[in-house]
Amino acid sequence: MREVAIIGVKNTLFGEQWDRSFRDLVVEAGVGAVEDAGVAGEKIDSMFVGNMSGGQFVEQEHIGALIADYSGLAKNLHVPSTRVEAACASGGLALRQAICAVASGMDDIVIAAGVEKMTDVPASKASSALAAAADREWEGIMGATFPGLYAMIARLHMHRYGTTSEQLAEVAVKNHFNGQFNPIAQYRNTITVDAVLNSIMVADPLRIFDCSPITDGASAVILAPADIAHEYTDTPIYVKGTGQASDTIALHDRRDITTLEASVVAGRRAYEMAGLGPKDIDLVEVHDCFTIAEICAIEDLGFAKKGEGGKVTQQGETAIGARIPVNTSGGLKACGHPVGATGIKQAVEIVQQLRGEAGKRQVDGAEIGMTHNVGGSGATAVVHIFSRNR
Amino acid sequence: MSVPRFWRKQIARYNLVGTYCKTCEEYFYPPRNVCPSCRREGEIGEFKFNGNGELVTYTVIHAAAEGFEGQTPYVLGIVQLEEGPRLTSQIVGDPKEMHIGLKVRPVFRRLGQSGERGMIYYGTKYVPA
Ligand SMILES: [Zn+2]
């Protein structure tokens, strides 16, 4: 298997973008990443696009071809383009497929992109589209919503481990604090624990400030074999590990409702491939679609003991400059969560950090970073480990 | 949900019929065609649950799912049946009386309706036992 490097990255602005279309967003990200890498179109061997619900959000399918066309890679170059779908893990999975294409030797220069345009439909329609990531026939039909499923995880976590609403709120407060330094973030305002605790209830015990927003945005990265990465950039970032795992689609079928076993296993596979462990990681972007999700994630990935995710967060151990900075980008909570793009955006953040280009949110001396992207309530998880050194 | 999609699983929904695997002695609801534990080694047959169980976790939903707008706040829970499998269901009752470990029993109820003149879905909800 060949070693793989990231040689170019680009995020669009994240947020409500009424003036820009689905294809505008993804072309901006794709072209930006290609320019960052200094790659010519003729060099591109293939493209993987993470997208969850183009069919429901913009009534467009055949996303792979659409994006190849509008990025100028279809008409004369006929670059193969593949859409990858795994709910909110679509982006992370597109990246993994792109890594596999380069690692296998099949392709050299590959684009991994992710995109979602969620604000062209009313919020109720968007929620319904997102609910399709859970089991429609046995959860959705009972009136389950995504916040509702994570609320049931939160309730049991609180009951079993004494996790508090204040500790959940601290996740949102930290991620908003980090988000203020990220120029692409949807929200660049700070918030307080009181503001979270006084926001309206969505699904008890989760309030609106415990939830990530509905967002438009796109992200892209360019991959190359590590052996030739220096031909394109002075600061290639190397892919050291990748792991993916599946679990039951319905939350009620999980062995332990407070543990996302797919995260545990995907993390273990990535750690094993990289020959690294949690102590080696300098920063991590985790899937905080809800505040409880970040608490579970840091436990599942080995950054906190089971049940202590809330406590560790409250003690400030996950802040920039502390033991393990989590979600320096602002996370899904403050940066925004365009579902198909999120997994790629996490990789862009880690690359910028490892290049030392993260500005006011820079983690000093960051050498090894991790991304963690979840689909649904935990039926898919994708974890990547990146390093500044080969 | 489309009529055929609902209709196909009507017996399982109305009567809490799932499956039992003789090989690993595990029970499953909703019914499975292949045993998730022992896969093709499994020997799967129908099993009707008595439905009694207890509340594993729950939430009170304030921002409703599409089609449930008139019902807020409603309680959504995960119920563990006596034989072991768990399912997601609405729990009918006062949200303040809900707690983890609450003993519950099934009731036959209207679940919803597709549009104003569409099919009415029936199925199982739970009440405190
Ligand atoms: Zn079996």
Model confidence pLDDT, tens digit, residues A321-344: 999 999 999 999 999 999 999 999
User: Would you tell me how many other CB atoms lie within 10 Å of the CB of residue A198?
Assistant: 11
- The interface residues of chain A toward chain B in range 20-79, judged by CB-CB distance below 8 A, are none
Q: CA A341 to CA A215: how far, in whole Å? A: 10
Residues of chain B neighbouring A250 (CB-CB closer than 8 A): 88
Q: What is the pLDDT of residue B112?
A: 82
- Model-level pTM greater than 0.95? yes
Predicted confidence (pLDDT) at residue B34 exceeds the cutoff of 80: yes
Q: CA A50 to CA A111: how far, in whole Å? A: 11
Residues of chain B neighbouring A200 (CB-CB closer than 8 A): 62
Contact criterion met (CB < 8 Å) for A128 and B63: no
Instruction: Give Cα separations from A226 to A88, A105, A254 (angstroms).
Output: 28, 12, 39
Structure tokens that stand for A154 in this block? 């939160």
- Confirm if A342 and A332 have CB atoms less than 8 A apart: yes
Contact criterion met (CB < 8 Å) for A138 and B36: no
A252 Cα to the center of ligand 1, angstroms: 18
Contact criterion met (CB < 8 Å) for B57 and A153: yes
Q: Which of A157, A176, A287, A337 is catalytic?
A: A337
> Which has more confidence, B12 or A222?
A222
- Confirm if A379 and A246 have CB atoms less than 8 A apart: yes
- The stretch B54-78 carries a mean pLDDT of 95
A205 Cα to the center of ligand 1, angstroms: 36
Residues of chain A neighbouring B90 (CB-CB closer than 8 A): 142-143
Instruction: Choose the closest CB to B58 out of A138, A145, A155.
Output: A155
Residues of chain A neighbouring B5 (CB-CB closer than 8 A): 137
pLDDT grade, residue B41 (50/70/90)?
very high
Q: Is A290 helix (H, G, I), strand (E, B) or coil?
A: strand
Q: Tens digits of per-residue pLDDT, A178-213?
A: 999 999 999 999 999 999 999 999 999 999 999 999
ipTM: 0.96
Is B106 buried (19+), middle (13-18) or exposed (0-12) by CB count in 10 A? buried
Instruction: Choose the closest CB to A145 out of B56, B58, B61.
Output: B61
Q: CA A317 to CA B119: how far, in whole Å? A: 53
Residue with tokens 């930290």: A174
Residues of chain A neighbouring B88 (CB-CB closer than 8 A): 138-139, 142, 144, 250-252
Q: CA A197 to CA B124: how far, in whole Å? A: 34
pLDDT grade, residue A280 (50/70/90)?
very high
pLDDT grade, residue B81 (50/70/90)?
very high
Predicted confidence (pLDDT) at residue B67 exceeds the cutoff of 90: no
Contact criterion met (CB < 8 Å) for A143 and B9: no
Chain B's closest residue to A136, CA to CA, is B1
Longest dimension (CA), chain A: 60
On the CB side of A178, how many CA atoms lie within 13 Å of its CA?
30
Helices (H) and strands (E) in chain B, counts: 2, 8
Q: CA A105 to CA B53: how far, in whole Å? A: 54
What is B51-104 written as a DSSP string?
--EEEEEEEEESSPPTT-GGG-SEEEEEEEETTS-EEEEEE-S-GGG--TT-EE
- The interface residues of chain B toward chain A in range 89-128, judged by CB-CB distance below 8 A, are 89-90, 95, 100, 111-112, 121, 123
Q: What is the pLDDT of residue A375?
A: 98
pLDDT grade, residue B6 (50/70/90)?
confident
pLDDT grade, residue A235 (50/70/90)?
very high
Summary mean pLDDT of chain A: 97
Q: Which of A88, A289, A296, A335 is catalytic?
A: A88
Structure tokens that stand for A172 in this block? 């949102």
Which of A124-128, A236-240, B109-113 is predicted most confidently? A236-240
Chain B's closest residue to A141, CA to CA, is B111
Residues 6+ apart with CB under 8 A from A333: A171, A172, A175, A176, A179, A187, A211, A212, A213, A288, A291, A327
Residue with tokens 């809900």: B98
Q: What is the pLDDT of residue A96?
A: 98
Contact criterion met (CB < 8 Å) for B77 and A152: yes
Residues 6+ apart with CB under 8 A from B116: none
Instruction: Choose the closest CB to A143 out of B85, B87, B90.
Output: B90
Closest-CA residue to A142 (of B116, B91, B95): B91
According to DSSP, the residues that pair with A223 across neighbouring strands are: A6, A110
Residue with tokens 């298997």: A1
- The stretch B40-64 carries a mean pLDDT of 95
B84 lies within 8 A of chain A by CB = no
Q: Give the sign of the dihedral formed by CA A124, CA A127, CA A132, CA A137.
A: negative
pLDDT grade, residue B3 (50/70/90)?
confident
Q: What is the pLDDT of residue A177?
A: 98
Q: What is the pLDDT of residue B20?
A: 96
Mutate to test the interface with A, among B78, B104, B113 (most CBs of A within 10 A): B78
Contact criterion met (CB < 8 Å) for A143 and B59: no
Closest-CA residue to A296 (of A146, A155, A119): A155
Closest-CA residue to A259 (of A160, A143, A370): A160
Instruction: Choose the closest CB to A203 out of B62, B87, B123.
Output: B62
A176 carries an active-site annotation: no
Q: CA A212 to CA A199: how far, in whole Å? A: 14
Q: What is the pLDDT of residue A76?
A: 95
- Confirm if B101 and B84 have CB atoms less than 8 A apart: no
- Confirm if A183 and A330 have CB atoms less than 8 A apart: no
Q: What is the pLDDT of residue A371?
A: 98
Mutate to test the interface with B, among A128, A130, A139, A145 (most CBs of B within 10 A): A145
Strand duo A109-117 + A44-50: pairing:
parallel
pLDDT grade, residue B61 (50/70/90)?
very high
Size of interface A-B (CB pairs under 8 A): 106
A88 carries an active-site annotation: yes
Predicted confidence (pLDDT) at residue B115 exceeds the cutoff of 80: no
Element (H, E) at A372: strand A368-375
pLDDT grade, residue A362 (50/70/90)?
very high
Residue B43: alpha-carbon gap to chain centroid: 23
A252 lies within 8 A of chain B by CB = yes
- Confirm if B58 and B79 have CB atoms less than 8 A apart: no
Predicted confidence (pLDDT) at residue B2 exceeds the cutoff of 80: no
Element (H, E) at A195: helix A193-197
Predicted confidence (pLDDT) at residue B12 exceeds the cutoff of 90: no
According to DSSP, the residues that pair with A241 across neighbouring strands are: A385
Q: Tens digits of per-residue pLDDT, A44-68?
A: 999 999 999 999 999 999 999 999 9
